[in-house]
Amino acid sequence: MAQKSLKTGLVVAALAALMWIPDTAQAASQNATFTKGKVIQNAMVNGTTGIEVAHRIRVRGMVGKQMEVACYFYDAVSKKPLKDQNGQYRSNTGTVSVGQKVKVLYPRADFKEFKLFLPNSELHVRNGTFKLKVNCEAFDNGRSIGRSYFQKFTYSNGMVARSAKFGQGRIVHNVRQGRFTGLEVTHPLDVYSMHRRKLEVACFFYLANGTPLRDMNRKYRSSDGSVSVGQKVLVKYPTASFKAFKLFIPYDELHLGRGTAQVKVRCEGFDKSTSIGSSAWLSFEYRQ
C-alpha cells in the first residue's frame, strides 16, 4: 500500500507540473520589439527643451494590461549610468530614467512612434560636451518583456550646442512651382554652431492618428519609405537665422487619393543624419 501511495503522489506531482507549463508559455508570449529608434535633441515640450527618445514598438500578448516603457541614460565612454540628483526622473536604482505607462488595447498592438521626453537639466551633467547613450525597456508588472538597442548622441551643456530651433510654423496651400500645385511648409528657423556645415531640414507627413503617409514613387521619400520633403543648405554664420525656411511638396506626392483626410506634419533639422532640433506639429485638412 505504501508503494502504491508513493506512485499516486508522483502522478499528482507530474500533473501539477503539466498544469504550470501554460502559465510559463503565456509569459513567454508577452513581448515588446523595439525598432526605428531615434534621439531628437532640443525637442520642446510645454516650453521645456530636452531629449526626446522615440521608437516603434510592437507589443504582443499584453491586451488589457498596463505596459511600462522606461529609458535609461549612460556615459557612452565610461559606460556608467548617469546618476539622478533630485528624484525627479529616477530609476529604482537612483540613475537617470524617464518612463511612461500605457494600457495595451489589442492582442497585436503597434505603437508607430512611442516617445519619451527628458528635460536637458535632468541629465545632471556638468558643463562641457559629452558622448552619451540611451536604451529603453518595456515591462509587464516589473518583468522585462523587451528592450531596445543603445543609441549614442553627443550632448553639450553650458555652451551653445549645434542646434536648430524652429519657430511657429504654418502651412501655405495652393502654391505653384512650375507645373505643380502643392503646399508649402514654412518656419522661422535659428541655427547654432553649424558654421560652414551642411544643415538638412526635412518634413515628415502623417495622418492625424500618427500613421505615416507612404511614398509610392520614390520621389518624395524618407529612408523608411514614408512621405518626406527635405533640403540641404550650407550654413554661413556661427548663428544663422532664416525668417522663413520653406519646403514645397506637390499635392500628388502625398499619395492620399480622392476624398478628405486629416494630416499633420513635423520638421527636423539634421547635422550629418543627427537630429539637432524639431518643430511642433502642424495640422491641416486635405481635400481632393
Instruction: Provide mean pLDDT across the span 113-118.
Output: 96
On whether residue 13 sits in a domain, the answer given is: no
Annotate 98-128 with b (16+ C-beta within 10 A) or e (fewer): bbeebebeeeebebebbebbbbbebbebeee
- Predicted confidence at residue 23, as pLDDT, reads 43
Choosing from 157, 186, 213, the residue where a domain stops is 157
Q: How many domains does the chain have?
A: 2
Q: What's the CATH code of the domain at 249?
A: 2.60.40.10
Distance CA 93, CA 86 (A): 13
On whether residue 19 sits in a domain, the answer given is: no
Q: Are residues 67 and 114 in the same domain?
A: yes
Rounded percentage of the chain residues whose pLDDT exceeds 70: 89
Task: Look at 56-65, 121-130, 259-268 and tell me which has the smallest mean pLDDT.
Answer: 121-130
User: Looking at the predicted structure, is the pLDDT value of residue 8 above 50?
Assistant: no
Q: Compute and round to an integer the Cα radius of gyration of the chain.
A: 24
Higher pLDDT, 261 or 158: 261
- Predicted confidence at residue 11, as pLDDT, reads 29
Please tell me what DSSP assigns to residue 223: T
Q: What's the CATH code of the domain at 66?
A: 2.60.40
User: Looking at the predicted structure, is the pLDDT value of residue 9 above 70?
Assistant: no
Distance CA 59, CA 51 (A): 24
On whether residue 198 sits in a domain, the answer given is: yes
Quick: pLDDT tens for 162-211: 889 999 999 999 999 999 999 999 999 999 888 889 999 999 999 999 99
Q: Are residues 92 and 169 in the same domain?
A: no
Choosing from 130, 157, 184, the residue where a domain stops is 157
- Predicted confidence at residue 160, as pLDDT, reads 65
- Predicted confidence at residue 158, as pLDDT, reads 66
- Predicted confidence at residue 157, as pLDDT, reads 77
Q: Are residues 250 and 203 in the same domain?
A: yes
Mean pLDDT of the chain: 88
Quick: pLDDT tens for 211-247: 999 999 999 999 999 999 999 999 988 789 999 999 9
- Predicted confidence at residue 27, as pLDDT, reads 54
Q: How far is CA 183 from CA 170, 174, 234, 258, in A?
A: 10, 6, 24, 16
Q: Are residues 144 and 173 in the same domain?
A: no
On whether residue 102 sits in a domain, the answer given is: yes
On whether residue 15 sits in a domain, the answer given is: no
Q: Domain of residue 252: give its range.
A: 163-287
Choosing from 128, 157, 186, the residue where a domain stops is 157
Neighbour count for residue 160 (Cβ, 10 Å) = 10
On whether residue 257 sits in a domain, the answer given is: yes
Say if residues 75 and 132 touch (Cβ distance below 8 Å): yes
User: Looking at the predicted structure, is the pLDDT value of residue 16 above 60?
Assistant: no
